[in-house]
Amino acid sequence: MHVLVTGAAGMIGQKLVRRIVGEPHIFGQAVSRLTVHDIVRPQAPETTGFAVETIAGDLADAADASKTIAGRPDLVFHLAAVVSGEAEADFEKGYAANFDGTRNLLEAIRTAGDEYQPRFVFSSSIAVFGAPFPRQIPDDFFCTPLTSYGTQKAAGELLLSDYTRRGILDGIGIRLPTICVRPGAPNKAASGFFSNIIREPLAGKEAVLPVDASVRHWFASPRSAVGFLVHGATLDTERVGPRRNLTMPGVSATVAEQIEALRAVGGDEAVALIRRERDPQIERMVDGWARDFAPERALSLGFTSDRSFEEIVRVHVDDELGGEIGPPT
């Protein structure tokens, strides 16, 4: 099996590649070739039992998309995107990366040959939904995104469904919750503070909380995100039917509940490192974000997630901190 991962230099992309390398039979047959692609050349895994090709390029260029798909991968994970805050700040960049890049990749598959029909796993987002919301958002709630990022992801979902309907590929869209706790340095995602207020205090650093503690949102750990993608790649899509885009399970938690989970894992000293500094612009953005879901379709199809926000924090400690809390000694 030949697997392609776009956005492979990103956090989720790197974790997915490590999972593939560590479990080369994870898709039910042996991985024989892996292609990793990003705007910057992804780092190739050090040890694999199969061939690995690294590609640096921009999928907003149709020629680059054709080059990326030239090896006719059997399984495509399309993770390449710019994040929410960056897509909102730079209108042209957001549409080039998140819409044009997706369309070009789909078109490259369409023109690669009549007998070519890969499984295509698209990384979408709960940003496709916009307020006003019911208490819990059901699977049949309509998509009315209120950000450019959400609009770009919603457009990608429609393309995925149509290219699947036409028999060009076998697609499934994975609407990710906000991924928390994200490792590494803060990024340009508008939701980044949800991770910052956990990650930084656990490392002995101060973090700024720009919203009220009553704010509620929908979360999953990076470990769960990779699990969603892998399950989407192996799922019998006959069970999914024509509605190919699925809202993933997650944990609905308030910022106050996040902080209490941090206290349970890191103690009062960690919580004391959170500095409250309200930001009206961020508060206005957050006010239009989804708070809770009833993802019955995904659950019925076997997708699973973290059970509590405390579990999400402990996943971060295990996966990123080696089980150790606090700054290096």
CB 227 within 8 A of CB 302: no
Distance, C-alpha 161 to centroid of its chain: 19
Distance, C-alpha 153 to centroid of its chain: 11
CB 219 within 8 A of CB 180: yes
> Could you tell me the two tokens for 64?
């680059």
CB 174 within 8 A of CB 121: yes
CA 263 to each of CA 162, 210, 237, 257, 318: distance values in angstroms, whole numbers, following the listed order: 47, 19, 42, 10, 16
Residues annotated as catalytic are 149
DSSP 222-268: HHHHHHHHHHHHHS-TTTT-S--EEEPP-EEEEHHHHHHHHHHHHHH
CA distance 89 to 12: 22
3-class SS of residue 131: coil
CB 190 within 8 A of CB 261: no
